[in-house]
């Protein structure tokens, strides 16, 4: 018996949030409950960070004019993405890729400038700042899912242009337009699976042993 294990219902909650979390693009009207956004951001701030650098910052978009500008920029980038996709362009254009105008809250998430001041765990792996911020966002996502709130991470933007829209300093780096809000229902599987964009790979495909491409085993 492991004394550090959570009670069964708590463990079930963790696995359920992991399994039922979705990248949400379809929201229904209605605000978040009072305190929810603060809990989700606090959950993110409990994320791990290399050398404890805590690189993440959250810009809550309160101005509806700014929200519209962000939406317009994302839509422009969506068209450029379609063009870059070539033969899958038409298929792509049918997908809903964001819910910026319909969600309750939009957050632009960015990393601080002057990140090169942080060396711990980053000397050869400077991109660990992004890994840390992504883990923080996964916390946000799971906390929201547990409370029945949808979140969608939009990365379809030009960082320079989004930086300008949000008055972000040189050297800072936007990584997400995060859409958060009430949903009619959570997708039963990732939307890109439901829409047959791609399929989930079997677990055996992602596991190796000692060397790349050498099939792995999980028996102990």
Residues 148-187 that bind a copy of itself (CB under 8 A): 148-149, 153-159, 166-169, 172, 175, 182-183, 185-186
Q: Check residue 11 and report its DSSP letter.
A: H
Q: How far apart are CA 181 and CA 116, in angstroms?
A: 35
- The reply to whether 3 sits near a copy of itself by the rule CB under 8 A is yes
Distance of closest approach, residue 40 Cβ to a copy of itself, in angstroms: 10
**Stretch 25-54 residues interacting with a copy of itself (CB under 8 A):** 31-34, 37-39, 41-43, 45-48, 50-54
Residues 80-119, mask of contacts with a copy of itself (x by CB under 8 A): xx--xx------x----x------------x--------x
Q: How far apart are CA 23 and CA 74, in angstroms?
A: 16
Task: Find, among 119, 144, 145, the residue nearest to 53 by Cα.
Answer: 119
Distance of closest approach, residue 35 Cβ to a copy of itself, in angstroms: 8
Distance of closest approach, residue 137 Cβ to a copy of itself, in angstroms: 7
- The reply to whether 21 sits near a copy of itself by the rule CB under 8 A is yes
Distance of closest approach, residue 96 Cβ to a copy of itself, in angstroms: 13
Q: How far apart are CA 61 and CA 39, in angstroms?
A: 17
Distance of closest approach, residue 129 Cβ to a copy of itself, in angstroms: 10
Both ends of the chain: CA-CA distance in Å? 18
Structure tokens that stand for 133 in this block: 């911020």
Residue burial 36-71, b: 16+ Cβ < 10 Å; e: rest: bbebbbebbeebebbeebbbbbbbebeeeebbebbb
Of 96 and 169, nearer to a copy of itself (C-beta) is: 169
Q: How far apart are CA 129 and CA 77, in angstroms?
A: 25
Which of 100, 133, 178, 179 is close enough to bind a copy of itself by CB under 8 A?
Answer: 133
Which of 26, 27, 59, 103 is close enough to bind a copy of itself by CB under 8 A?
Answer: 59
Calculate the CA 90 to chain-centre distance: 25
Distance of closest approach, residue 218 Cβ to a copy of itself, in angstroms: 4
Of 75 and 138, nearer to a copy of itself (C-beta) is: 138
């Amino acid at each position: 018996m492991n004394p550090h294990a959570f009670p069964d219902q708590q463990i079930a909650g963790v696995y359920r949030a992991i399994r039922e979390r979705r990248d949400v693009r379809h929201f229904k009207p209605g605000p978040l409950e009072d305190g929810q956004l603060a809990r989700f951001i606090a959950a993110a701030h409990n994320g791990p960070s290399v050398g404890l650098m805590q690189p993440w910052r959250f810009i809550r978009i309160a101005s509806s004019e700014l929200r519209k500008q962000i939406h317009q920029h994302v839509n422009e980038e969506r068209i450029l993405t379609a063009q870059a996709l070539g033969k899958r362009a038409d298929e792509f254009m049918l997908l809903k890729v964001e819910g910026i105008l319909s969600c309750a809250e939009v957050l632009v998430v960015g990393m601080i400038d002057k990140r090169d001041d942080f060396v711990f765990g980053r000397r050869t792996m400077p991109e660990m700042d992004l890994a840390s911020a992504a883990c923080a966002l996964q916390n946000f996502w799971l906390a929201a899912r547990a409370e029945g709130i949808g979140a969608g991470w939009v990365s379809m933007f030009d960082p320079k242009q989004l930086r300008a829209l949000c008055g972000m300093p040189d050297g800072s780096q936007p990584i997400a337009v995060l859409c958060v809000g009430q949903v009619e229902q959570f997708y039963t599987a990732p939307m890109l699976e439901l829409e047959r964009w791609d399929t989930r790979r079997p677990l055996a495909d992602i596991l190796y042993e000692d060397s790349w491409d050498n099939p792995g085993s999980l028996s102990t």
